[in-house]
């Protein structure tokens, strides 16, 4: 169509610029994502893939406080914040347990959350123990083995907290939920020592009975969620201006499948 000061394709030229911008943004966010991982070798593989796939050269710039990316045609380095050790460990153990639970089909029974004091690995009581018992179930062994392999080289103290619902135990060996929760916490601690090669002095066993519930004990579903064990990796308090200031992670709780304490 004649007139208007544009040829028949001029109105679509902006799409080329837009497509180039989206490609560069995609490359940038892939590098941002990869740089958050603790696996540096994988990060470099992603960078190389970006260079080959998008024709964008990326240089890793060691800077005193972190790293940066520099497109070869760019205007300068874009600084990336360095993750705290706590954040790196959180990402690592989340990936390990996601892979393990995906293979087992037990993902609904495991959650990893960040607390003020450290990283909490929450295991549903339905996964760990048979109804009313303190012996570890076969399904829980592989999960605990993965956790132990991750914990063994760390220097951190580890606190194992066991929780029940508010129903009575009906077992003379455990007159109250205090005894039951302490016995379950000790069972997990002993497994980490005897099979996970974790030094006993790093471990603390805590029984919380029904007094630290995630939900009110007003339904079968809520009681099932309250029966759990938390393996808490403890970290020293971070400075207020530290790299993970403002880190806000969604709280996930494992589902459960039984109704007994």
pLDDT in tens, 180-227: 999 999 999 999 999 999 999 999 999 999 999 999 999 999 999 999
Looking at residue 132, what is its pLDDT? 84
230 forms bridges with which residues in the sheet?
Answer: 122, 161
For residue 249, is it within any domain? no
Q: Residue 215: give the domain boundaries.
A: 85-234
pLDDT over 50 (residue 35): yes
| Domain at 106, CATH number | 3.30.1330.60
**Any idea what the Cα angle at residue 127 is, between residues 126 and 132, rounded to 5°?**
45
- Distance (Å, whole) CA 174 – CA 181: 9
90 within 8 A of 112, measured Cβ to Cβ: yes
Determine what percent of the chain is predicted with pLDDT higher than 90: 55
Q: Same domain for 66 and 145?
A: no
The tally of CA atoms less than 13 A away on the side-chain side of residue 28 is: 15
Q: Mean pLDDT across the chain, nearest whole number?
A: 77
Looking at residue 240, what is its pLDDT? 41
Q: Same domain for 124 and 70?
A: no
Dihedral sign computed on CA atoms, order 118, 119, 123, 128: negative
- In this structure, the strands spanning 203-207 and 158-163 are parallel
Q: Same domain for 165 and 77?
A: no
Helix (H, G, I), strand (E, B) or coil at 162: strand
Please write the tens of the pLDDT for every residue from 91-150.
999 999 999 999 989 999 999 999 999 999 999 999 999 888 899 999 899 999 999 999
Q: Same domain for 104 and 145?
A: yes
Looking at residue 249, what is its pLDDT? 37
pLDDT over 70 (residue 70): no
Band of pLDDT at residue 155, cut at 50, 70 and 90: very high
Question: Model pTM?
Answer: 0.64
Helix (H, G, I), strand (E, B) or coil at 28: helix
Maximal CA-CA distance, the chain: 94
* Residue after which a domain boundary falls, among 54, 81, 108: 81
pLDDT over 80 (residue 29): no
For residue 149, is it within any domain? yes
Q: How many CB atoms lie within 10 A of CB 248?
A: 6
Q: Same domain for 67 and 96?
A: no
Please state the rounded mean pLDDT for residues 236-256.
Answer: 47
Intra-chain end-to-end CA distance of the chain, in Å: 78
Q: Same domain for 62 and 124?
A: no
Question: 90 phi and psi, to 5 degrees?
Answer: -60, -45
Q: Same domain for 67 and 91?
A: no
Looking at residue 232, what is its pLDDT? 98
For residue 240, is it within any domain? no
- Distance (Å, whole) CA 91 – CA 119: 10
Q: Same domain for 97 and 15?
A: no
Q: Same domain for 111 and 210?
A: yes
Looking at residue 257, what is its pLDDT? 47
Q: Same domain for 116 and 38?
A: no
For residue 243, is it within any domain? no
- Distance (Å, whole) CA 161 – CA 120: 10
Please write the tens of the pLDDT for every residue from 41-69.
555 555 555 545 544 444 433 333 333 33
For residue 239, is it within any domain? no
Band of pLDDT at residue 22, cut at 50, 70 and 90: confident
Residue spans of beta strands (DSSP E) within 37-175: 58-60, 66-71, 78-81, 110-114, 118-124, 158-163
């Amino acid at each position: 169509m004649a007139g208007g000061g544009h040829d028949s394709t001029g109105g679509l030229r902006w799409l080329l610029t837009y497509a180039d911008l989206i490609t560069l943004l995609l490359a940038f966010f892939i590098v941002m994502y990869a740089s958050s991982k603790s696996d540096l070798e994988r990060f470099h593989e992603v960078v190389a893939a970006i260079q080959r796939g998008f024709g964008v050269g990326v240089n890793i710039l060691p800077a005193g406080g972190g790293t940066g990316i520099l497109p070869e045609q760019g205007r300068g380095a874009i600084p990336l914040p360095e993750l705290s050790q706590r954040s790196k460990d959180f990402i690592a153990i989340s990936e390990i347990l996601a892979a393990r639970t995906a293979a087992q089909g037990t993902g609904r029974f495991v959650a990893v959350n960040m607390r003020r004091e450290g990283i909490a690995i929450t295991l549903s009581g339905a996964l760990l123990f048979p109804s009313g018992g303190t012996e570890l179930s076969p399904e829980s062994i592989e999960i605990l083995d993965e956790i132990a392999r991750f914990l063994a080289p760390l220097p951190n103290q580890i606190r194992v907290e066991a929780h029940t619902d508010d129903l009575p135990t009906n077992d003379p060996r455990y007159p109250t939920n205090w005894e039951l929760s302490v016995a379950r916490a000790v069972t997990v601690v002993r497994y980490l020592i005897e099979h996970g090669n974790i030094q006993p002095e790093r471990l603390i066993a805590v029984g919380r009975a029904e007094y630290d519930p995630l939900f009110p004990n007003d339904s079968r579903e809520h009681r099932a969620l309250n029966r759990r064990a938390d393996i808490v990796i403890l970290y020293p308090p971070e400075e207020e201006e530290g790299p993970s200031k403002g880190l806000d992670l969604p709280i996930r709780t494992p589902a459960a499948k039984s109704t007994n304490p």
